[in-house]
Amino acid sequence: MPDHYYSKNPEVESKRVELTEMIKGKQFRFYADSGVFSKKGLDYGTQLLLETFEEPSVPKGMYADAGCGWGPVGIFLAKTYPGRKILMTDINERAVELAKLNGQLNGVEDRIEVRQNDLLEGMEDREIAAVLTNPPIRAGKQVIFRLYEQAAESLVEGGELWVVIQKKQGAPSTIKKLEELGLETEVMKKSRGYFILRGKKC
């Protein structure tokens, strides 16, 4: 597999950078690095996902950031919803290291659990109220659809899967897949070719 953000151990030389990001009026500090998704800063799709996300009405369960990269989604959730435990997973060792560091940097390390993991593989026994993901497009449709299957399996009743995906990168096929999995699927927002999708487990 070529060396990119979906590699377990990126071989590209580390060039860590410090970022300041504003998300829904809150300021965050992060470190990002080569070999990790969106190394130059928060990408538009992820920003749109976080701005659109609405807390599900499920009173119990953790939130999961599947494919967390350097951690903006999970850390934002931990800061915004202190009553929820946040599970953050990524296959990329460098991303996991950064996500842990960024959790400390933003004072939420006690509310996040960061694991080097193949998306939500083996997480079916967790009580998850919401899964948020900017799926790893480069990993291919098979991997992405497996993520949707894992999410549908791990969500509690009434739990929600939130996905940001570009139309040209497979938004229509994602909608079809979520519906096939029995998720009540809705387009929550469209902007600049990006779709924010919500699939609710009923």
Q: Of 116, 115, 102, 128, which is closest to residue 23 (Cα–Cα)?
A: 102
Note whether 175 and 165 are within 8 A (CB). no
**pLDDT attached to residue 139:** 86
How many Å apart are CA 183 and CA 41, to the nearest integer?
Answer: 32
Q: What is the pTM of this model?
A: 0.95
Note whether 100 and 34 are within 8 A (CB). no
Taking residues 80-94, what's their average pLDDT? 97
How sure is the predictor about 12, in pLDDT bands with cuts at 50, 70 and 90?
A: confident
Q: Where are the domains of the chain?
A: 17-201
How sure is the predictor about 7, in pLDDT bands with cuts at 50, 70 and 90?
A: low
Q: Is residue 3 pLDDT above 70, yes or no?
A: no
How many Å apart are CA 134 and CA 127, to the nearest integer?
Answer: 21
Taking residues 15-27, what's their average pLDDT? 96
**pLDDT attached to residue 1:** 37
- 131 SS3 class: strand
Quick: pLDDT tens for 106-149.
Answer: 999 999 999 999 999 999 999 999 999 999 888 899 999 999 99
**pLDDT attached to residue 5:** 53
Which one is the CATH code of 17-201: 3.40.50.720, 3.50.50.60, 3.10.440.10, 3.40.50.150?
3.40.50.150
